[in-house]
Amino acid sequence: MAKTIPIFAETPRSTVQNPENPLEFRKSPVLSLYVHIPWCVRKCPYCDFNSHEAGAGFNEREYVDALIADLQSALPLIWGRPVHTVFFGGGTPSLLSPGAVDELIGAFRALAMLSPEAEITLEANPGTVEAEKFAGFRAAGVNRLSLGIQSFNDEHLKALGRIHGSADAKRAAQLAAEHFERFNLDLMYGLPNQTLAQALADIDTALSFAPPHLSCYQLTLEPNTHFAAFPPDLPEGDLCADMQDAIETKLAAAGYANYETSAFAQAGRQCLHNLNYWHFGDYLGIGAGAHSKLTLHDRVLRQMRHKHPKAYLDAIRAGQPIQEAHDIAAAELSFEFMMNALRLSEGFAPTLFELRTSRPLTVILPQLKAAAAEGLLTLSAEKIAPTAKGRRFLNVLLERFL
């Protein structure tokens, strides 16, 4: 069984705050590293991520050097803290060569305190992989792969603007199963003209590869995307709700726990990197447009790198990769914590709120009690968790803490 990082197993700190500095953090959370690769073969019409078509603008050597320089410049903020997970996201990180990934992981080990047992995830597009590349990623140190399948139906893949077809998706899933003990398949439902039977057929096909982890998202029309400007014909809301119910029922019967809003895993196979986000842990983001959240002695710092690849590379050369940086206000910490932690089906231990925000739980107790009275939360001394109703109406629940 894969080892897990004890997210909660941290040295307890005193619950008595320093009256002169109520935001004195006496224990840093688990630290993760996020690496953004901003290029794709083609921009998908539904995607609002920071991604750009590669073309002639993708210079692997230049970008690898920039990522290493970016990490070096950030070391004073994370000095002495072990890195427990690494996530290569995008964009399409599988556009990188195995050699480049090997060099980057080697640099992470040399420069940062990368745990020998760190979970290292790389996102891959079925249209950009082959057997030799998967083997190369595994040899480089990647021990978890996340495949952006979206669907196994050719018509739906065409409607989504994906560069792969059903045969490519199945071959990539088979290769992932052969080369990685831990891998994830990303699926979407509520696709243009999709029926309930077709949505469940995608799940059945995915299950045939016995993935340890599945992510199932409903397609939504995000602002500033092609689909937002030219909306496709999507299934009605009631049909999408039926799809969600049927998918959750089928995956539960197959032994997958719906441990987070859109994430399903076999026992012990949760994504540790994402769990750290949802437990409001810390993460350093490097690469174009990457975000960081870092707990310092008396504040929580947010950063964003320059977003456009060219602007980012120019900023790296100038020694100034950070475009924006600010401390999270004490009043905002409560909401940000709840926005993450309430995505988890199991919720969180009340003590974690104080550990992550350095604020007593009493500051949100009225909202907690009100949400519990509405049937959105279960509230006890051991655990605070969303109910089935709270999970279905998560945005309504989160509004209570704004």
Domain ranges of the chain: 31-277, 330-402
What pLDDT is stored for residue 10 in this prediction?
A: 42
Is the pLDDT assigned to residue 93 strictly greater than 50? yes
Banded model confidence at residue 5, pLDDT cuts 50, 70, 90: very low
What pLDDT is stored for residue 55 in this prediction?
A: 78
Is the pLDDT assigned to residue 28 strictly greater than 50? yes
What pLDDT is stored for residue 274 in this prediction?
A: 97
Banded model confidence at residue 54, pLDDT cuts 50, 70, 90: confident
More confident call, 55 vs 10 = 55
Percent of the chain past pLDDT 70, that is, above it, reads 94
What pLDDT is stored for residue 224 in this prediction?
A: 87
Instruction: Tell me the CATH class for 31-277.
Output: alpha beta
Please report the DSSP string for 130-199 in residue order: -HHHHHHHHHHT--EEEEEEE-S-HHHHHHTT-S--HHHHHHHHHHHHHH-SEEEEEEEES-TT--HHHH
Cα distances (angstroms) measured from residue 103 to each of 24, 39, 142: 38, 19, 12
Contact 310, 35 (CB under 8 A): no
Is the pLDDT assigned to residue 246 strictly greater than 70? yes
Compute the mean pLDDT over every residue in the chain, rounded to the nearest whole number: 92
Banded model confidence at residue 36, pLDDT cuts 50, 70, 90: very high
Same CATH topology for 31-277 and 330-402? no
Banded model confidence at residue 26, pLDDT cuts 50, 70, 90: low
In angstroms, the CA 279 to CA 276 distance is 5
In angstroms, the CA 151 to CA 40 distance is 18
What pLDDT is stored for residue 400 in this prediction?
A: 92
3 state DSSP class of 262: coil
CATH tag for 330-402 (out of 1.10.10.920, 1.20.140.10, 1.10.2020.10, 1.20.120.1760): 1.10.10.920
Least confident interval from 25-39, 46-60, 74-88: 46-60
Is the pLDDT assigned to residue 331 strictly greater than 80? yes
pTM equals 0.92
Cα distances (angstroms) measured from residue 14 to each of 295, 299, 328, 358, 360: 17, 17, 22, 10, 12
Q: pLDDT tens for residues 186-236?
A: 999 999 999 999 999 999 999 999 999 999 999 998 998 999 899 999 999
Is the pLDDT assigned to residue 16 strictly greater than 50? no
Is the pLDDT assigned to residue 52 strictly greater than 90? no
Q: pLDDT tens for residues 256-283?
A: 999 999 999 999 999 999 999 999 999 9
Is the pLDDT assigned to residue 19 strictly greater than 60? no
Banded model confidence at residue 42, pLDDT cuts 50, 70, 90: confident
- Out of 55-59, 119-123, 357-361, give the one with best mean pLDDT: 119-123
Is the pLDDT assigned to residue 330 strictly greater than 60? yes
Cα distances (angstroms) measured from residue 16 to each of 25, 30, 334, 380: 11, 22, 18, 21
